[in-house]
A and B are shown apart, each in its own frame.
Chain A
Amino acid sequence: MSLLQEEREIILSNEYVDNFDFDEVAKFVKGASKDLFISHHFKQKNKMLVQPRGGFPTYQKQFALNEFFVKANVDVLPLTIDSNTRLNDYATAKKMLRLSEENDVDMLNGYPLVNHGYRTTRKMITHFNKPVSLRHGTPDARLLIETAIASGIFEIEGGPITYLLPYSKNFPLDKAFLYWKYVERVCANYSQLNEPINRESFGPLTATLVPPAITIVIQLLEMLLSLEEGVKSFSVSFSQTGSMNQDIVTGAVIKKLAKYYAEQINCADAAIHLVYHQWMGAFPTNKDYAEQLINMSTVIASMVGADKIITKTREEASGIPTKEANAKTVANTQYTLGILNGLPNIVDEEEEEILTLQVKAIMEAVFNDPADTLWRKVFNSIKSGVIDVPFSPHIINHNKMITIRDAKKNIRIIKRGNVPIPDRCYAYDKAQCDLTKDTTSIVNDIIHDIGIMQ
């Protein structure tokens, strides 16, 4: 028996798992409908796929939400997991699920997949026969993704960096790399049975003034960590920056460089997709304005040429959206995509060149780290601040990079910290900003720049 299989048996002999049948699950994946695989839909390339977010604690409510989404012509169904499960606290999730079922009040902010189990959840997934995307935020997702794939969920979001640096203060990053290596291997193995399982990275990170260079580097590194384990279908992603031009430039550079670096490790056969997140920062409380913002995000996603868009709702500022509001966004987004025709082709060569140089310089610094494996190189680079994510709460993050918006609302790096931004690019970024101000005014500007859409 392989080491991986030994580990799987340990992970799946958990008291919260009801007798995991490896052979039956493999048989199910092998015979599963192609419609359940988002990788299959990406191959068809008919249109930009629309995917909302959403998860409710009980099976009934999740089922009802999915019915609403399907009526609104959804392309990809979400399954958002509750925060207890994300922290591997299945006992609390179980208790809260029971309270939710008995009292008709939601005691969880998502669907406790491990507690529901794959036999139950699979009934829902196969009933709707749409691809489902697993949305969570789990540093140790080993049991969760085993349960997800066994349920018929063939897209797994997340990664060791993007699910840790924005969400956690103390979870050890080196452990996260090893736990995600397991996830990649399991996804790679199942991918040999039918269409590939798609892995998706979470590009928005903290969604707070993250410069495109940092976003792209982390997307590329999680892609490489995934491909080197044998994953054949991967989505890089980013969220609306606040400047349409910066979004278009970011989209162009990430597509080119994803292809370039995949070829560098002889993984050109893997399919790479681009996902765009509608505005991930603070939303306006005015729900009509929120709809305008969402609509604008859809237009930009089209300009960027995204393969999938992930939607927000008009209720974003006030909490977890109702199924009605959530489905309404899906219908509206589909409508906008349907009438968006004859888009102009915009290329900003200078900005593309600057961004490409930034990304390549950071990637080179990571590869030059003397560690023996890629994950250790990345780990060391985060520790030393070669990769620095603005506003990450994690203790390992360096927090020395400072970013601000220029007059056109592009995110610019005005302090690079230990990030090896080439001098020419650094001078270019700073030249776009008014740096004569004192720190107090700059802090006020940053506060304003974060709340730009409110």
Chain B
Amino acid sequence: MYIQVRALKNMKVVTGVVGNDIHVVANRLLELSLDARGYEVFNLGVNTYLEEFFDAVVETGADVLMISSLNGEAEGWSREVQLLKAKYKHLDNLIMMIGGNLVVGTGSAEDIIPKYKNYGFDIVCHQVDLNTGLDQLEAFIEERVVNDSDIKESNK
């Protein structure tokens, strides 16, 4: 079990800031932190369009797509996520995460999180501390490993 999780920590992550958003500081810090936690990081930087994210996932064979937003334009872009993802094959196991400031103006996490889960994200972090968000990702991955091994057990 432990070994499996460690192996998963070598997972590939594609990350970047969505839309016409040039806020770069957290993006760089995210790259540093992901790297320190053992992920292989493909950082597309700021000002990245949805197609570029999915193209990069296919190109790198990434396990996780981590989209961030500061100015809140993620809201507009996210509506197209399901539609676009469906155009690509073999992305069913891709872990989809989004974080940052997920609304233009103000809004509460209770409203925002379900909305983004509907858009197709597994993990949604609205105004959450960077390391708390990355802990959530780790917990999600570990849970998935446990579930997968349960399935394997039951298949025997």
Q: Which residues does A use to contact B, with CB under 8 Å?
A: 167-170, 206, 208, 390-393, 395, 399, 402, 438-440, 442-444, 446-447, 450
CB-contact partner of B25 in A168, A391, A395, A402, under 8 A: A391
Query: Contact at A169–B29, with CB atoms within 8 Å?
Result: no
Main secondary structure on A side of the interface with B: loop
Q: What are 28 A-B contacts defined by CB distance under 8 Å?
A: A167-B22, A168-B22, A169-B22, A169-B45, A169-B46, A169-B47, A170-B47, A390-B28, A391-B24, A391-B28, A392-B24, A393-B22, A393-B24, A393-B46, A393-B47, A399-B31, A402-B32, A438-B36, A439-B32, A439-B35, A440-B131, A442-B32, A443-B29, A443-B36, A443-B131, A444-B131, A446-B32, A450-B25
* B146 at the binding interface (Cβ < 8 Å): no
CB distance from B52 to the nearest CB of A (A): 11
B residues less than 8 Å from A443 (CB atoms) = 29, 32-33, 36, 130-131
Extra inter-chain contacts (9) besides given A206-B24, A393-B24, A446-B32, CB under 8 Å? A170-B47, A390-B28, A392-B24, A393-B46, A439-B33, A440-B131, A443-B29, A443-B33, A444-B131
Docked Cα-Cα span, A273 to B47, in Å, equals 36
User: Nearest residue in A to B131 (C-beta to C-beta)?
Assistant: A440
Q: Kindly state the separation between the CA atoms of A392 and B66 in the bound complex, as whole angstroms.
A: 20
B69 to chain A, nearest CB (A): 14
For B46, the closest partner residue in chain A by CB is: A393
> Which residues of B sit under 8 angstroms from A402, Cβ to Cβ?
32
Seen from chain B, the residues whose Cβ lies within 8 Å of a Cβ on chain A are 22, 24-25, 28-29, 31-33, 35-36, 45-47, 130-131
- Find chain B residues with CB under 8 A from A208 CB: 25
Q: A118–B33 Cα gap in the complex (Å)?
A: 50
Q: Verify A446–B47 contact, CB threshold 8 A.
A: no
Number of A-B contacts (CB under 8 A): 44
Q: How far apart are B27's CB and chain A's nearest CB, in angstroms?
A: 8
Shortest distance between the CB of A130 and any CB in chain B (Å) = 33
Q: Knowing A169-B46, A169-B47, A392-B24, say if A440 contacts B29 (CB, 8 Å).
A: no
Residues of B within 8 A of A450 (CB): 25
A206's nearest neighbour on chain B, judged by CB, is B24
Chain B nearest CB, measured from A450 CB (Å): 6
Which B residues lie within 8 Å of A439 (CB)? 32-33, 35-36
> Once bound together, how far apart are the Cα atoms of A392 and B23, in whole Å?
10
- Residue of A with least CB distance to B22: A393
- Pair B29/A446 contact, Cβ less than 8 Å: yes
| List of A residues within 8 angstroms of B22 by Cβ | 167-169, 393
Is the beta-carbon distance between B130 and A447 smaller than 8 angstroms?
yes
Chain A residues within an 8 Å CB radius of B46: 169, 393
Q: Which residues of B contact A206 (CB under 8 A)?
A: 24
Cβ of B25 and Cβ of A399 under 8 Å apart?
Answer: no
Whole-angstrom CA separation of A438 from B32 in the bound complex: 12
Bound complex: CA A393 to CA B47 (Å): 9
Distance in angstroms from B44 CB to nearest chain A CB is 9
Cβ–Cβ contact B25 & A440, under 8 A: no
The 6 closest A-B pairs by CB, nearest first: A439-B36, A393-B24, A169-B47, A393-B46, A443-B33, A393-B22
Q: Which residues in A have their C-beta under 8 angstroms from that of B33?
A: 439-440, 443
Which residues of the other chain, B, contact A446 by a CB distance below 8 angstroms? 29, 32
Chain B residues near A442: list those with CB within 8 A. 32
Which residues of chain A are within 8 angstroms of B35 by Cβ–Cβ distance?
A: 439
Minimum CB–CB distance from A205 to chain B (whole Å) comes to 12
A454 to chain B, nearest CB (A): 13
User: A390 contacts which chain B residues (CB < 8 A)?
Assistant: 28
A448 CA / B24 CA spacing, docked (Å): 16
Give which listed residue, A167, A393, A444, contacts B45 with CB less than 8 A.
A393
Which residues of A lie under 8 Å from residue B32 when comparing CB positions?
Answer: 402, 439, 442-443, 446
CB distance from B19 to the nearest CB of A (A): 12
Closest Cβ–Cβ distance, residue A144 to chain B (whole Å): 20
Q: How far is the CA of A310 from the CA of B32 in the complex (A)?
A: 33
Instruction: State A168–B22 Cα separation when bound (angstroms).
Output: 8
Residues in B neighbouring A395, C-beta threshold 8 A: 45
Chain B residues positioned under 8 Å from A393 (CB to CB): 22, 24, 45-47
Distance, CA A10 to CA B131, complexed state (A) = 53
